[in-house]
Amino acid sequence: MSHPPVTFELHAQYLLVIGHGVRDSLANMVDSANLIYKKAKETNSRKMLVDFRKLEIHVRITEAFNIVKTYEHSLPELRTIVVAAVFEPRHRDFARYWHEVSAQRGFTIEVFEDINEARTWLLAQE
């Protein structure tokens, strides 16, 4: 049985987003981002803990830039949401570049390899 690209758990202080499957194109990255934003809006969540440890990322690192450009044009309201994202170490380069581009474009996204560190950081944000 396959999972949807993302599943959600609403916690008292944040929305937990769990990524599943493979991201192998900008199109499926955008589709997932749209699902995540829709759920954040629906639940009025301003903080998200995004667990991408089960996710396989099979795109060039440059797609990190393109996904942030998509946020700017299609989902600018994401700037109002604080995101702590957890990646497996093998996706470290992609995660760091995504973080760097996001920060330059005004999004609040931090990346981690440890979910407890990510949760602690997220809950400390105003």
Distance of CA 109 to the CA centre of its chain: 8
For residue 3, what pLDDT band results from cuts at 50, 70 and 90?
confident
- Strand order of the sheet with strand 82-86? 6-10, 15-19, 47-51, 82-86, 108-112
Strands in the chain per DSSP E: 6-10, 15-19, 22-23, 47-51, 56-57, 82-86, 108-112
Give 23-40 pLDDT, tens digit per residue.
999 999 999 999 999 999
Distance from C-alpha of 67 to C-alpha of 59, rounded to nearest angstrom: 11
Residues with Cβ within 8 Å of residue 45, at least 6 apart in sequence? 10, 14, 15, 39, 81
Give 60-102 pLDDT, tens digit per residue.
999 999 999 999 999 999 999 999 999 999 999 999 999 999 9
Distance from C-alpha of 79 to C-alpha of 54, rounded to nearest angstrom: 25
> What mean pLDDT value characterizes the chain?
95
For residue 126, what pLDDT band results from cuts at 50, 70 and 90?
confident
Distance from C-alpha of 113 to C-alpha of 102, rounded to nearest angstrom: 18
pTM of this structure: 0.94
Flag whether pLDDT at 17 surpasses 70. yes
Closest C-alpha among 28, 39, 34, 55 to residue 111 = 55
Residue 1: its pLDDT value, please?
A: 52
Distance from C-alpha of 109 to C-alpha of 50, rounded to nearest angstrom: 10
CATH code given to domain 6-124: 3.30.750.24
